[in-house]
Structure formats: C-alpha cells, structure tokens
Amino acid sequence: MLPLYPLKFKTIYKDKIWGGQKIKTYLHKDFGSLPNCGETWEISGVKSAVSVVANGELEGESLADLLEKYLGDLVGEKVYEQFGNIFPLLIKFIDANEDLSIQVHPDDELAEKRHNSFGKTEMWYIIEADPGSTLISGFNKDLTEKQYLDKFNSGHLTEILNKEEAKAGDVFFLPAGRVHTIGKGLLIAEIQQTSDITYRIYDFDRVDDKGNKRELHTEEALAAIDYKHYPDYKTKYQSEKDKAVELVSCPYFTTNLLDFTKSTSRDYANLDSFVIYVCIEGEFAVKYNGTAYPVKMGDCVLLPKSIDKVQLETTSGFKILESFV
C-alpha cells in the first residue's frame, strides 16, 4: 500500500435556499455555476456524499476506500474500534445569507433507533459576521413538552428561544437535542458527528423557486428536543497567540484553536486519533517527511494517525481549528 501523508479532499458544494456568496468572496472557494452556496462539505464520510482525495498519490480515492484499506493507520486504533468503516466527523463551512430553519438533531440512541445512524452533536466557530448578526441556541427558560407545544401551535415559538449576538471568533457547542438556528450574515466552520439527520421545526413559511414549502418534522422533533434551559450557550475561552487553546471537548471530538504568528511543530505521538486542520485565517505549510503541503484559508487537511509529528511553517501567521477524537 502507498504510504499515508497529509490529505486534502475535493470540496462538495451545496446550494441552499438560504445560501449566499461568502464561500466565494470571503473563503475564495469557487462553487462554479451554482446560484449560491450555503454549505461546503470539506471532509465527509456520509454515504450520500463521501469525500475524495484531491492531492498526492492517493488522489481520486474515496475516504471510505481509504478507511477500509488503512484502518487504524488512518483514524487510530481506538477510533476504528468504535466507529469501524465510518469516518466519525463531518467538516463544513456554512454561509447563511438568510436565517436557517429552526431545527434540532437527535442523539445517538434516537438516531440509531429511527435512522440506523449516529446522532448529531456539533460545534460552530464564527469566521465572519455581518454587524448585528444573531443566532439561536436553546431555550430562554425551562420548558415542558406541553409548554413548548403551546407556544409552537400558537405561532409564538420564537418567544421561548434563546437568541445570541454572534461575532467573529465566537464559539457555540450544540449537543444533540438543542434547538438552534444559524442567523443571517454568519459564516461558520462546523465540526460535527457524521450524520445528516435534521428535524426541521419551523422554516419562516419560506417557499422554494417552485413555490413549495420545505418539509417540517414537528412530531419527530418532540422526542429529540432537550427542553432544559442552560446558563451559558456561548463557549467561554481565552484566545492566546502561539499556543493551542481548547475550545470544545466532548465524547465525539476535541477542538483546539491555534492562533500562531510563527512556525511551530505539533507532536501527536500520544494521540490515538487522526487530526483535522481547518484553516480559518492566514496560510502555512504542513511539513512532513521532507514534503511541504500548502494550506490557505478555507482549506482542510486530514493528518492520518500514522503521522506522529509535523512542522507547521508560516511567514504570515495562521489561525486553525485542530480537531481529533
């Protein structure tokens, strides 16, 4: 078998009813003839949209094929034992030119029972935000299912939702069960479990270009929703230059922010997992085994588990999200 190396993948572009142009104008990723781009899937093991390698000797190979061939060398022994031939994370960029639908995702237990799928816990890092942008995360008070339904059925759902101002650098962790929506004007990097299950609760009565409303999942959502109120919906962290700062740690992934002004090395010898870099600012090169792999804003790189140490070389500085299981 060919030796593994830092892998880049072909971006999967998705137009959405709420999508915009920032994927092109801000991240400089060309989505071609699509009218807009609401989401890009950068690294995906979702069966309907599996990523394909874009660089090096393995170019053209799918992530699913790599996993079957390389097993724990690609993802780590403990990760392979837990997830088998399903790559456990899905990495996206999301451009909300309009509010997304109000929605919720099921947890592992419910998703397994209903869809034979993983649940969907996720996190958002706000890359760029129009002035005054907001998002919804959770409820503004504790609720029962009946209280929730009363507000929903009377058309006053938004009165019980927790609205947050959102600006560049903000982080939101969204465990499965948390009602949420990304608000207009936000460009986001999303790290999530490998799942494409969304229960759409309310879609602002929007219609598509054929005049059709999108399907709602009112009943399905009821068993998925966490009706509790939580004191902090925005993740608190202190950014530090030239140091890895932990943003989120949960059973599904850990994500650190690396905001570096200079070159650095990263040692993963004690980590039994792949590592993903999502570049959200600047540029650098991943130097491994005598080869430099260039990375710029909007790029994502998968470091297989077989890579223990890399050098990140930069002249201008970079900001990346570093994620692993």
pLDDT tens track of the chain, all 325 residues?
999 999 999 999 999 999 999 999 999 999 999 999 999 999 999 999 999 999 999 999 999 999 999 999 999 999 999 999 999 999 999 999 999 999 999 999 999 999 999 999 999 999 999 999 999 999 999 999 999 999 999 999 999 999 999 999 999 999 999 999 999 999 999 999 999 999 999 998 888 878 898 899 999 999 999 999 999 999 999 999 999 999 999 999 999 999 999 999 999 999 999 999 999 999 999 999 999 999 999 999 999 999 999 999 999 999 999 999 9
| Structure letter (DSSP) for residue 262 | S
In this prediction the pTM is: 0.97
Coil/strand/helix, residue 283: strand
- Looking at residue 145, its pLDDT comes to 98
Domains of the chain (ranges; CATH) run 12-222 (2.60.120.10), 244-324 (2.60.120.10)
Beta bridge partners of 96: 186
- Looking at residue 263, its pLDDT comes to 98
CA-CA distance, 132 to 121, in Å (whole number)? Answer: 26
pLDDT-above-70 percentage for the chain = 100
CA 310 to chain centre: 24
Q: Where do we find the tokens 């229960």? A: 199
User: CA 154 → CA 21, 65, 148, distances in Å?
Assistant: 35, 50, 10
CA-CA distance, 176 to 200, in Å (whole number)? Answer: 14
How many C-beta atoms surround the C-beta of residue 156 within 10 A?
10
Length of the chain: 325
Coil/strand/helix, residue 221: helix
Query: Which has the closest alpha carbon to 95: 25, 8, 199?
Result: 25
- Looking at residue 208, its pLDDT comes to 81
Model confidence pLDDT, tens digit, residues 118-133 = 999 999 999 999 999 9
Is 200 one of the annotated active-site residues of the chain? yes
Q: Is 249 left (phi over 0), alpha (psi -120 to 50) or beta?
A: beta
- Looking at residue 140, its pLDDT comes to 98
Coil/strand/helix, residue 115: helix
What are the b/e assignments for 34-58, b being 16+ CB within 10 Å? eebbbbbbbbbbbeeebbbbeebeb
Which two tokens mark 26? 């801000």
Query: Which has the closest alpha carbon to 85: 60, 56, 50, 59?
Result: 50
Beta strand 89-96 with 39-43 is antiparallel
Active-site pick, 114, 200, 206, 214: 200
Coil/strand/helix, residue 269: coil
